[in-house]
Structure 1
């Protein structure tokens, strides 16, 4: 793929991935053919900042974990009121990294 397209993609979507993942993504995208580029741009990435806000305001109901597709943990938080607040507070610190990892996994599944 053209390096200019890759740089534009990374500039537009860098907030969805951790800085350590950006280098791997760049290398994989440069080795990719142009046919998959439209598919990569069509992916729906979750915004880590928005997920933090969801976790703060609705974390006791497990909505943040349901949005990430982690229904088991989301159900546990829903039934226990956020684990009596403990699981909810722990997620305030973990949800941004979990969201970025999910975005990275989603991208790698399309690239591979």
Structure 2
């Protein structure tokens, strides 16, 4: 992936990833082929502001947790009505960071499953 595409991706998606991990993402994108980088940049990253809005509006239903892959916690939150709304209020403050970590983990999961280029097969 060329430098301009990497910069464009990080600028457009800086609100979807933890800021202290953007340098790692840039580094990983630099080592990808164009096909690999197209897939990495088109993964279904969750929008942080949308998840925060969901948490504020219907957080007691656990939908916010389910959207970031924490299905069991979402179901527990649904059954307990957001822990009698206490858990819901706490999530208003932490769900944004959890969403960014979810997106970063999704990116790293894809990168870690790429074939290792350092090992070349023998003829």
Partner of 1:33: 33
Could you report, residue by residue, the CA deviation over 1:49-106 in whole angstroms, capped at 9, with x for unpaired residues? 1111100111111111111121111111111111011111111111000100000011
Query: In 1, distance between residues paired with 2:9 and 2:56?
Result: 30
Could you report, residue by residue, the CA deviation over 1:16-75 in whole angstroms, capped at 9, with x for unpaired residues? 112101111111111222220111122111111111110011111111111112111111
SS in 2 for 1:105: helix
> How many residues align structurally?
112
Query: In 2, distance between residues paired with 1:11 and 1:111?
Result: 20
Higher helix share: 1
Higher-Rg structure is 2
SS in 2 for 1:45: coil
Provide the aligned C-alpha RMSD in A: 1.1
- TM (norm. structure 2) is 0.86
Question: Runs (4+) of structure 1 moved beyond 4 Å?
Answer: none
Partner of 1:79: 79
Query: In 2, distance between residues paired with 1:58 and 1:94?
Result: 15
Q: Which has the higher contact order (CA 8 A, sep 6+)?
A: 1
Partner of 2:103: 103
Unaligned residue ranges in structure 1 (runs of 5+): none
